[in-house]
């Protein structure tokens, strides 16, 4: 299944794509795709619906992030060896974890807004993993039982804030609009091989990232297992699993986002995002 949330900001409704790619309105059956939905076995209930009986939604509607009221967004740094190399860093002996502020999360096609003084904002296409039920001290063998689905994430990063200023990475990762998610939450049964998905990003029509999830250092089951040893993962939480090479920081000279730039990014079977960059104006 491909779960989609749609509607104007603050008025989003739950929907689902049918077999023909039409967006259907599921709001008569569910309030939203949030923690309560997952806790109430919502995915199983959604699977039993006659999707063809649901109203068709206008194609011009805004698409929102596929999960509402995300509790945590946990990101994995330097999880592709070739990206670590372009960043001038070693592959870590264990996954590097950091949090992205949930206030950074936006829809997949919403505008990205640079902070007023940002000069080094960068892009990172990533595979997102959505948790479907509480995961606490889970084994790697059982980890996928806790995964509701997958999605595309753009883990935008302000490199000056992240690297050049004192403190942790969260300064450069949590800026408002720096977490586009979606367009879909795709359930695992529709993802043939999450360890072998093409993952890419274009900047102004030029492909700058072109990788595969098969080069991830720490794979999805290990990440779910590993993170659950340090904190419980709750339904609706998102794990963003790292990015392949091709970010602006690694270019010679470095290339960073400016107003008017357009990012287009996607992962096999998980859909495509597109954001236009603007600068914050008070």
Number of domains in the chain: 2
Of the candidates 43, 64, 85, which is a domain's last residue?
64
Are residues 174 and 244 located together in one domain of the fold?
yes
pLDDT band at residue 206 using 50, 70 and 90 as cut-offs: very high
173 and 250 in a common domain: yes
So what's the pLDDT on residue 265?
98
pLDDT at 114 over 80: yes
Is it the case that residue 53 has pLDDT exceeding 80? yes
- Regarding whether 147 and 8 lie in a shared domain, the answer is no
pLDDT digits (tens, 9 = 90+) for 169-196: 889 999 999 999 999 999 999 998 999 9
90 band by pLDDT with thresholds 50, 70 and 90: confident
- Together in a domain, 57 and 166: no
- The boundaries of the domain holding residue 233 are 67-279
Mean pLDDT calculated for residue range 194-200:
97
pLDDT tens by residue, 13-26: 999 999 999 999 99
Same domain, 60 and 73: no
CATH of the domain at 183: 3.90.850.10
Distance (Å, whole) CA 109 – CA 61:
11
Decide if pLDDT at 236 tops 80.
Answer: yes
Kindly state whether residues 26 and 86 are assigned to the same domain.
no
> How large is the average pLDDT for residues 130-159?
98
113 and 247 in a single domain? The answer is yes
**192 vs 273, more confident:** 273
Let me know whether 123 and 215 are in one domain: yes
Mean of the per-residue pLDDT values of the chain = 96
User: Is residue 2 domain-shared with residue 87, that is, in the same domain?
Assistant: no
Of 14, 39, 64, the residue that ends a domain is 64
Residues 20 and 105 in one domain: no
pLDDT digits (tens, 9 = 90+) for 212-223: 999 999 999 999
* Confidence at residue 87, expressed as pLDDT on a 0 to 100 scale: 74
Q: Per-residue confidence at 65, pLDDT binned at 50, 70, 90?
A: very high
Same domain as 33, residue 76: no
CA 259 from centre of chain: 22
- Same-domain pairing of 108 and 237: yes
pLDDT at 192: 85
Last residue of a domain, one of 21, 43, 64: 64
pTM above 0.85, yes or no: yes
In angstroms, the CA 33 to CA 148 distance is 11
């Amino acid at each position: 299944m491909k779960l989609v949330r749609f509607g104007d900001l603050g008025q989003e409704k739950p929907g689902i794509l049918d077999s023909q790619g039409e967006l259907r309105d599921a709001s008569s059956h569910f309030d939203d795709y949030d923690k309560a939905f997952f806790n109430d076995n919502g995915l199983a209930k959604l699977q039993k619906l006659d999707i063809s009986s649901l109203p068709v939604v206008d194609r011009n509607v805004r698409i929102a992030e596929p999960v509402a009221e995300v509790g945590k967004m946990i990101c994995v740094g330097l999880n592709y060896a070739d990206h670590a190399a372009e960043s001038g860093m070693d592959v870590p002996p264990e996954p590097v974890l950091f949090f992205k502020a949930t206030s950074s999360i936006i829809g997949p096609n919403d505008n990205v807004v640079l902070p007023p003084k940002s000069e080094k904002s960068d892009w990172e296409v990533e595979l997102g993993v959505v948790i479907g039920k509480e995961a606490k001290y889970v084994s790697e063998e059982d980890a996928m039982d806790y995964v509701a689905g997958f999605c595309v994430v753009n883990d935008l990063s302000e490199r000056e804030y992240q690297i050049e200023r004192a403190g942790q990475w969260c300064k450069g990762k949590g800026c408002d609009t720096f977490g586009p998610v979606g367009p879909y939450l795709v359930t695992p049964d529709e993802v043939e091989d999450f360890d072998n998905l093409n993952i890419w990003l274009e900047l102004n029509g030029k492909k700058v990232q072109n990788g595969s999830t098969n080069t991830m250092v720490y794979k999805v089951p290990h990440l779910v297992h590993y993170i659950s040893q340090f904190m419980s993962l709750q339904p609706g939480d998102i794990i963003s699993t790292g990015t392949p090479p091709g970010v602006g920081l690694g270019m010679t000279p470095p290339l960073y986002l400016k107003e008017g730039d357009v990012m287009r990014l996607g992962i096999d079977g998980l859909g495509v995002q597109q954001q236009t960059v603007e600068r914050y104006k008070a």
